């Protein structure tokens, strides 16, 4: 179940960082202004229909039209615009280049996530999950591999489109540790509604340790072996999936080097455990119809479990 769409308070009302905070504040103020203006209009309508004659005459007078129709909206809307632009200036401030960078690529129907080093090389490849340190801005390089997607983790920022052939930058920041759901916010075909994402904010030391551990694993050989690994290689999984330190080097589907430590399967939609791994591999089409992974219903239950056991060890 995509977390960004559920829960209380709704994620859009519960900002966890400065870039989401200003958007939420602006939305509340605009809503408040809208309610106030609606109340004034309804009151004027009541006066026009049922009010005493003296008030009716005033309402129809030239003075009221100048004040209520020109001066009030002119002043209020100008003030709101100036205040709103100042409030959200941080969203479009120049990116200094010192921030940590993560490339997030929209794919039909999942997110490729690559942590970049200072030279822009991929340090850690992962999918459908973004880990970030608390209290530090992180710059996301948003791209698309196919159609237009939109990246949205409501706790952390507004939406930003992922456009084929372009890199758009989005700054996010979490000010408290936690797990924040995200979603693709631009219709991108078939299982678009099941294209989710999870962002996880750690304390800064925790995060550095996490990233270093993942980077070490990318350079090492894959843990575990036996029947599951053999079955994975023999069933053709490697044509689409990469597991670092093995011959599996397919790039069409999500990188599975760390799949065992991910919180979700199927792009932010299923919890990750041995049972859901088996269900996903065995018949992903019944879970996420139209996704690009075929259902491996030609495998026996034992073979599915062997693969799941091996994948669980890929952390």
* Selected binder of another protein within 283, 292, 313, 315 (CB under 8 A): 283
Cα–Cα distance, 125 to 113 (Å, whole number):
6
Whether 2 and 194 have beta carbons less than 8 Å apart is answered as yes
Report the residue number, 172 or 287, with the smaller CB distance to another protein. 287
Quote the least distance from Cβ 310 to another protein, whole Å: 13
Q: What angle do CA 159, 252, 239 make, to 5 degrees?
A: 160
Q: What is the DSSP letter of 65?
A: I
* Selected binder of another protein within 142, 149, 282, 311 (CB under 8 A): 282
State yes or no: residue 313 binds another protein (CB under 8 A): no
Report the residue number, 236 or 289, with the smaller CB distance to another protein. 289
State yes or no: residue 280 binds another protein (CB under 8 A): yes
Q: Is 228 left (phi over 0), alpha (psi -120 to 50) or beta?
A: alpha
State yes or no: residue 7 binds another protein (CB under 8 A): no
Whether 98 and 138 have beta carbons less than 8 Å apart is answered as no
State yes or no: residue 176 binds another protein (CB under 8 A): no
How many CB atoms within 10 Å of residue 126? Answer: 23
* Selected binder of another protein within 270, 293, 307, 311 (CB under 8 A): 270
Q: How many residues in total does the chain contain?
A: 315
Quote the least distance from Cβ 283 to another protein, whole Å: 5
Cα–Cα distance, 106 to 161 (Å, whole number):
9
Q: What is the DSSP letter of 5?
A: G
Q: Is 253 left (phi over 0), alpha (psi -120 to 50) or beta?
A: beta
* Selected binder of another protein within 57, 176, 179, 274 (CB under 8 A): 274
State yes or no: residue 39 binds another protein (CB under 8 A): no
Whether 61 and 99 have beta carbons less than 8 Å apart is answered as no
* Selected binder of another protein within 304, 306, 311, 314 (CB under 8 A): 304
User: Which has the closest alpha carbon to 292: 230, 250, 249?
Assistant: 250
Report the residue number, 216 or 274, with the smaller CB distance to another protein. 274
Q: How big is the site for another protein, counted in residues (CB under 8 A)?
A: 23
State yes or no: residue 260 binds another protein (CB under 8 A): no
Report the residue number, 105 or 272, with the smaller CB distance to another protein. 272
What are the residues binding another protein (CB under 8 A)? 1, 265, 269-271, 273-276, 278-280, 282-283, 286-288, 297, 301-302, 304-305, 308
């Amino acid at each position: 179940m995509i977390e960004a769409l559920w829960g209380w308070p709704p994620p859009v009302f519960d900002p966890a960082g400065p870039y989401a905070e200003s958007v939420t504040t602006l939305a509340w103020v605009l809503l408040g202004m809208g309610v106030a203006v609606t109340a004034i209009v309804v009151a004027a309508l009541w006066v026009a229909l049922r009010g005493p004659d003296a008030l009716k005459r005033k309402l129809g007078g030239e003075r009221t039209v100048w004040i209520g129709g020109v001066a009030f909206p002119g002043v209020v809307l100008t003030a709101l615009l100036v205040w709103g632009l100042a409030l959200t200036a941080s969203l479009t401030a120049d990116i200094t280049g010192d921030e940590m960078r993560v490339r997030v690529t929209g794919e039909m129907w999942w997110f490729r996530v690559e942590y970049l080093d200072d030279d822009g090389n991929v340090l850690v490849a992962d999918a459908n999950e973004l880990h970030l340190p608390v209290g530090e801005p992180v710059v996301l390089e948003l791209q698309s591999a196919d159609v237009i997607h939109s990246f949205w983790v409501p706790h952390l920022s507004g939406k930003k489109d992922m456009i084929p052939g372009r890199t758009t930058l989005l700054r996010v920041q979490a000010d408290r540790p936690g797990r924040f759901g995200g979603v693709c916010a631009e219709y991108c075909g078939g299982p678009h509604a099941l294209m989710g994402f999870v962002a996880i904010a750690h304390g800064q030391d925790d995060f550095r340790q996490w990233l270093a551990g993942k980077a070490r694993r990318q350079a090492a050989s894959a843990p575990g072996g036996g029947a599951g690994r053999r079955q994975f290689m023999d069933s053709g999984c490697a044509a689409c999936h990469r597991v670092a330190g093995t011959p599996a080097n397919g790039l069409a589907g999500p990188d599975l080097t760390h799949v065992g430590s991910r919180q979700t399967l199927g792009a932010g939609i299923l919890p990750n455990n041995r049972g859901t791994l088996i269900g996903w591999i065995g018949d992903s089409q019944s879970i996420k119809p139209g996704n690009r992974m075929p259902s491996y219903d030609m495998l026996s239950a034992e073979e599915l479990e062997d693969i799941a056991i091996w994948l669980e060890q890929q952390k």
